[in-house]
Amino acid sequence: MKRKNLIEFKVYGRYALFTDPLTRIGGEKFTYQVPTYQALKGITESVYWKPTLQWFIDDVRIINRIQTQSQGIRPIKYTGGNDLSIYTYLKDVEYQVRAHFEWNENRKDLERDRNENKHYIVAKRMLSRGGRRDIFLGTRECQGYVEPCKFGEGEGYYDDTDMDFSLMFHGMTYPDEAYNDETKDKMTARFWMPKMVNGYIQFIRPEECSIHRRLREMNMKTFDDSNFTVIGEFEEGGVFDGVD
């Protein structure tokens, strides 16, 4: 049975740079072959996000052939000036993504904003408009575009291909997304070993990742009436009656 809070979309662009954020500060950058869970989650959150909910990426389908292109870049150094670096990007990328949202159970202070129909309708509307915020494919210089699609529709370059990948960055766990005592009040990086089957990668959930790295202590931000406004309710027939 199809989930009510499920969205499907395609995302595409001329270039993409999906890297491990632990190694992204300065120097050379080399992209992963496929997008990370965190990158796709960030794209989905750029379409629509509220702290009341959490997006989970279920699957991604690789549509175009995996190609790379290297470019000379002069990034600004923290100490001033710049040096020539080589960045290796993916080029001419297109993916189909399937994602769903669940309530953020760590946000007991936002329970009054848990209206599934409301958030689902707004998310679908923002998707049809290309997202609420700019879409980036890994880094800011890689502009992306999103639009609704039927997941699995059309032909893909890897429809008959299986591929294993080595250890790969899965995503970040922030304090408001903590799922056990090890991730509570911390920022944690997760890693996993993805596998593509017939062009599809099925992501495991964050709590299923067995390899973690604790980065630093961090407190969860508090939302109250001074810095958060609940979206208005919907009238009968799906007409929005509030500020989004």
| Residues forming beta bridges with residue 162, ordered by sequence position | 197
Read off the pLDDT of residues 38-91 as tens digits, 9 standing for 90 and up: 999 999 999 999 999 999 999 999 999 999 999 887 777 767 667 778 889 999
- pLDDT (average), residues 156-185: 88
Q: Is 118 left (phi over 0), alpha (psi -120 to 50) or beta?
A: alpha
Q: Which amino acid belongs to residue 104? A: N
Decide the pairing of beta strands 135-136 and 143-148. antiparallel
Q: Determine the Cα–Cα distance for residues 138 and 155; give it in Å rounded to an integer.
A: 24
* 229 vs 234: which has the higher pLDDT: 229
Is 11 exposed, middle or buried (CB count within 10 Å of its CB: 0-12, 13-18, 19+)? buried
Angle at 43 between CA 7 and CA 51, to 5 degrees: 80
Percentage of the residues of the chain whose pLDDT score is greater than 70: 86
> Tell me, what's the pLDDT at 235?
43
* Structural tokens at position 28: 């050379």
Residue among 201, 155, 207 nearest 180 (CA): 207
- CB within 8 Å of 6: residues ≥ 6 apart: 58, 98, 99, 100
30-46 pLDDT, tens digit per residue, is 899 999 999 999 999 99
The pLDDT value recorded for residue 74 is: 76
Complete domains list, the chain, with CATH: 6-217 (3.30.70.2660)
